[in-house]
Amino acid sequence: MSMAKTEKVTVTLPVEQVAALRELASARPGVTISGLVQRAVAASLEDAREFDAMVEEDFAASGGPITPAEQAWVDGVLGLGPPAPMPDSFAERQRVLARVRGAGAEGVA
């Protein structure tokens, strides 16, 4: 079995987290702060991959990512940008809002 290549980096953590890592590592033989951080980073990266896959599935189910025109309308509604032309129909507005929420249009009552 080959060892994965590693690289030393510096990270900044709150003092409470560093103290908790040191306490955990010292209480368990063979456990190191580096090992704990490696496992935490691996779990975080996996969570991010799963979230990205979920977003892609939602986009596919709702007709793809929202268009620039849809985003401009939503930004205007939320006060994040200038007012934009409203979609022509109530159904179209509901469809856009559903896409922004990450749900398919069928998820909007």
Question: In 3D, which of 107, 78, 102, 105 has the Cα closest to residue 91?
Answer: 105
Given a cut of 60, whether residue 28 has pLDDT beyond it is yes
What value does the mean pLDDT of the chain take? 82
Give the DSSP letter string of 27-92. Answer: HSTT--HHHHHHHHHHHHHHHHHHHHHHHHHHHHHTTSSPPHHHHHHHHHHHTSSS--PPPSSHHH
pLDDT at residue number 70: 79
Share of the chain above pLDDT 90, in %: 42
The pair of three-digit structure tokens given for residue 99, joined into one six-digit string:
């896409």
pTM above 0.95, yes or no: no
In the chain, domain spans:
12-59, 62-109
Please, which pLDDT band fits residue 2 given cuts at 50, 70 and 90? low
Given a cut of 50, whether residue 23 has pLDDT beyond it is yes
Q: What is the pLDDT of residues 56-103, one digit of tens each?
A: 887 777 777 777 887 888 888 888 888 777 767 777 777 777 777 764
